[in-house]
Amino acid sequence: MSARCLLALLVLNGACAGEEPSGRRETVAGYTVVHLEGTPYQMGRQHASLLREELRAGLKEIEENLLLKAMFALARAYELDALARALSLPELVEECEGMVAEMGSEGWTLDKCLVLNFGDAVAEFVKTGVPGGEDLAPGCAQLAAAGPATEDGRLYHARILDWSRIEYIIKYPVILVRRPAGGIPHVVIGFPGNLSPYQGMNAEGITLASNEVNPRDGGVHDRVGVSHVQLLGRLLGQARTLDAVGAALQRANHMTLETIVASDGKSGRAAVFELAPQALAVRELDADGLAYATNHFVSPPTAPLDAEPTPEHTALRLLRLEQLARRGGAGSLHGALGPAALVRLMRDRRNAKTGEESPAETFDDGKTLATNGALYQLVFDPAARRFWVAAGKVPIPAQPFTGFSLDALLEGRGSAPAAIP
């Protein structure tokens, strides 16, 4: 028996000795909710056991989706699979090993798990060699609002995750409720196999989400450092304050360009962290009670590192956020921002420069907040540890925003907030 299996057996009576993995799966308001607990290895086994059928579909998608197939092939050709093995966080590697223990015989290999969960870095290093590879980097938007910006002075955090149209991600949204041994319980809104989160919230009222940033050129990246999405997973399990998030991001060795937006429900603070190997900048809530970001840097230390000229899609979405959230902007919602108003903002299909509305059924024309390839849309209420999510069917912005209470998910108490239709 390996040392890891022995530790799992002694500490948490784990599944390494042949016991059926624990954890559980349920359906809540139409969403698959998977509860994971214990060591990383144990949670990996539970994940694979409880989502086995969905992961089989994921393996098929990797083989049949031309974009994903090319990404994995180039990852091998560029030795990024070896880079992922060398640089992935130890807990992420252990969780992948747990998944492989359950599904390795079905093709869920350690390299597949690590490349998928090193995806932010892999996408940046391979996208220039992949046909259609510009779609590998998510095109996202985030807005944190509090004080004078919101209807009740409370802090809210809205998030749009935009990406290429990958049917697997659309078809299988999963709410992963994680109780790591020795860590902070938290929730990740993602998909089967998604161990390194793109968005989540923990029981301390910390919310985190990431936006890829378009680089000036390949020279601004390096091949030493940490995957930002893996780091997000670590922070959800460890960070209790916004200051703790900031300190961890200051210490980290950044491989690629990324923006992380963090909110802290206890303090009512939020910040945009602009991260690059060469520089870091922080933008906290301003006098209007706002902090927001799309896919380019706006702070003087970091702005010279991203693409020039700024890609139109990210510039348009940033301008539209300004119009909708700032005082006096066209159609401004300033002073009224709350869950319902933030949903209206994320459903907005108006071009910030021309005023033209994109058709409601448009998935990705790169012109508006709602039509840049939305795969998930979320509103977080960090202080109350609540969130609303739209996912599972395109167009995503047209779906109801289903409400969840993290307290109810973790403890079976409290009530879920009403859906926003």
Six-digit token string for 386: 């609540």
Mean pLDDT (10-residue bins), the chain, 421 residues: 43 47 88 97 98 96 83 83 94 98 96 92 70 61 98 98 92 97 98 97 98 90 93 98 98 96 98 97 98 97 95 96 92 97 98 97 96 97 98 98 96 81 92
| Angle 231-314-244 from CA coordinates, rounded to 5° | 25
Six-digit token string for 215: 């680089």
296-to-60, 177, 200, 254 alpha-carbon distances in Å: 34, 31, 22, 16
pLDDT recorded at residue 122: 84
Six-digit token string for 296: 């380019």
Six-digit token string for 139: 């095109």
Indicate whether 248 belongs to any domain.
yes
Backbone angles phi, psi at 297, to 5 degrees: -85, 150
344-to-31, 67, 421 alpha-carbon distances in Å: 22, 32, 11
In the chain, the N- to C-terminal Cα span, in Å, equals: 52
pTM above 0.75, yes or no: yes
Strands (E), 181-314: 186-190, 199-202, 206-212, 258-264, 269-275, 280-284, 290-293
Beta 174-180 vs 31-38: how paired, if at all? parallel
Q: What is the DSSP string of 48-98?
A: HHHTHHHHHHHHHHHHH-HHHHHHHHHHHHTTHHHHHHHHS-HHHHHHHHH
How many domains is the chain partitioned into structurally? 1
Helix (H) or strand (E) holding 378: strand 374-381
pLDDT recorded at residue 358: 98
CB burial of residue 53 (10 Å; 0-12, 13-18, 19+):
exposed
> What own/partner pairs with CB < 8 Å and gap ≥ 24 does 183-188 have?
183/237, 183/238, 184/236, 184/237, 184/238, 184/239, 184/240, 185/406, 185/410, 186/236, 186/237, 186/406, 187/387, 187/404, 187/406, 187/409, 188/233, 188/236
| Angle 390-226-305 from CA coordinates, rounded to 5° | 85
**The domain spanning residue 279 has which CATH number?**
3.60.60.10
In this structure, is the dihedral angle defined by the CA atoms of residues 253, 256, 259 and 265, taken in order, positive or negative?
negative
Indicate whether 276 belongs to any domain.
yes
Domain that holds residue 302: 136-171+206-400
Q: Are 211 and 157 in contact (CB under 8 A)?
A: no
Helix (H, G, I), strand (E, B) or coil at 286: coil
State which amino acid sits at residue 233: G
CB burial of residue 389 (10 Å; 0-12, 13-18, 19+):
buried
pLDDT recorded at residue 3: 46
In this structure, is the dihedral angle defined by the CA atoms of residues 238, 241, 242 and 244, taken in order, positive or negative?
negative
Q: What is the gyration radius of the CA atoms in the chain, in angstroms?
A: 20
Indicate whether 255 belongs to any domain.
yes
Beta 280-284 vs 269-275: how paired, if at all? antiparallel
- Give the integer Cα–Cα distance in Å for 248 and 223: 20
Which residue is associated with the tokens 């999510």?
A: 389
State which amino acid sits at residue 198: Y
Order of strands, sheet of 258-264, starting from the edge strand that comes earlier in the sequence: 24-28, 31-38, 174-180, 186-190, 199-202, 206-212, 258-264, 269-275, 280-284
Q: Are 368 and 374 in contact (CB under 8 A)?
A: no
Indicate whether 304 belongs to any domain.
yes
Torsion of CA 104, 135, 306, 80, to 10 degrees: 30
Indicate whether 179 belongs to any domain.
no
Indicate whether 238 belongs to any domain.
yes
Indicate whether 395 belongs to any domain.
yes
Six-digit token string for 325: 């959230």
Helix 228-238, helix 119-126: angle, nearest 10: 170
pLDDT recorded at residue 24: 95
Cβ neighbours for 247, distance < 8 A, ≥ 6 positions apart: none
Indicate whether 309 belongs to any domain.
yes
